[in-house]
Structure 1
């Protein structure tokens, strides 16, 4: 099989929705991403330029798979990280971000300085702010929630819904590892944070505790 961007694009464009559905199944896209798992970085760069959303979905799935594979060298992971950050202009929807920000960006930074996350968190582009937050999932899974809470402090009042949802979601994940820190964050911010942040962050709390934080948000007025 020829591992080129053109060949992958042709295979994506040949996909058809199953009977009774109006969308191509993501499982079929992910299956093709597995077939093209060794696609070179230069070809992945070409795919990220595509105007076809599913092609970019496939490209980012491949990047995430490559970054997470045990056989991938550290130099290749560094190259994937660099490509991802260079092409954030093409990773501009919530689903594209969530496909591999944690694998390509977050996992790469587990043993490295995380300054780039704070640069992304200050970006005028909401999807780069989402990347910063979602990337910390890899750090949380490794037992390190410091950057999740620090970035949540920066982004807790963000004006964009897709940043609000990821802040709340990552707080929830961090809270599984450090419940006391999550509760302290909520004690400080629940009354004023966007409601969706509080709703997502409290999903795994006991019903009575969750109701208390949501009531604090309602008491201050919804936004």
Structure 2
């Protein structure tokens, strides 16, 4: 682990650290309160991670336990690559379980978004998906976001039902980060071929869907469709 942390520290900058701390809302009372950034760009971090894709679970756990955001991000990027390359169901299962055991360390939207689809979604694709509904019904912001972001894997495979059902569970959520994720998921489902299903969903739930989620969901529709749904709202 020393090698990867040294490599990350070597390219960190204070200027970027300050910008990241502001962008990811680390101030008192904000969703990322107390998170620590050392200042590394996403492309640079991913480049370094490619050299350390063989880290074991113990080494990845050390990174996930760190208060430094970029170390946790690095662990998740490596874990995603290991999941994609896993040759056995046993290894995929271990990666998935390791990920779920660490949801309390996956505690910002970028950490969720870089990992949930290609770990949780990939693993559950040919399995029972009821755990996603349980996750969506928790009171934990990041676990709820994992639930909806995981369905992006299904969307890419032209399966839309779980996205719609989990979106409906999350419609009354109070946090803007969930509104954005739901709208994003609906938009992607619409783009991938679920035009009618998404439009029916919006009409059915127009009174409950947050305006932010609606704006994201209709982003790629025609101007006429956008006007129609915004008028309904």
State TM-score, norm by structure 1.
Answer: 0.89
Does residue 56 in structure 1 map to residue 58 in structure 2? no
Return 5+ residue gaps in structure 1 as ranges. 218-223
**Residue 90, structure 1, aligned to residue 86, structure 2:** no
In the alignment, is residue 145 of structure 1 matched against residue 160 of structure 2?
yes
Residues 117-196 of structure 1 aligned to structure 2 (within 5 Å)? 117-176=132-191, 177-196=193-212
Q: How far apart in 2 are the matches of 1:33 and 1:24?
A: 12
Q: CA deviation at 1:19?
A: 9.4
Q: Equivalent residue for 1:37?
A: 53
Picking from 90, 99, 107, the partner of 2:122 is 107
Counterpart Cα distance in 1 of 2:112 and 2:5: 20
1:65 corresponds to 2:81? yes
Q: Distance in 2 between matches of 1:20 and 1:53?
A: 13
3-state SS, counterpart of residue 113 of structure 1: coil
Q: Residues 18 and 24 of structure 1 are in contact (CA less than 8 Å); yes or no, is this contact kept in structure 2?
A: no
Partner of 1:8: 4
- SS for the counterpart of 1:192 is coil
Which ranges of structure 2 fall in alignment gaps of 5 or more residues? Answer: 20-38
Aligned residue in 2 for 1:74: 89
Contact 1:17–1:25 at 8 Å: present in 2 too? no
Q: CA deviation at 1:30?
A: 0.3
Instruction: Quote how far apart the aligned CAs of 1:121 are.
Output: 0.4
Q: Output one character per residue of 1:152-185: Cα deviation in whole Å (capped at 9) or x when no partner.
A: 1111111111111111111111112211000001
Count residues with an aligned counterpart.
Answer: 212
Contact 1:191–1:213 (8 Å) recurs in 2: no
- CA distance, structure 1, for counterparts of residue 16 and residue 226 of structure 2: 40
Task: Check the 8 A contact 2:16/2:40 in 1, yes or no.
Answer: no
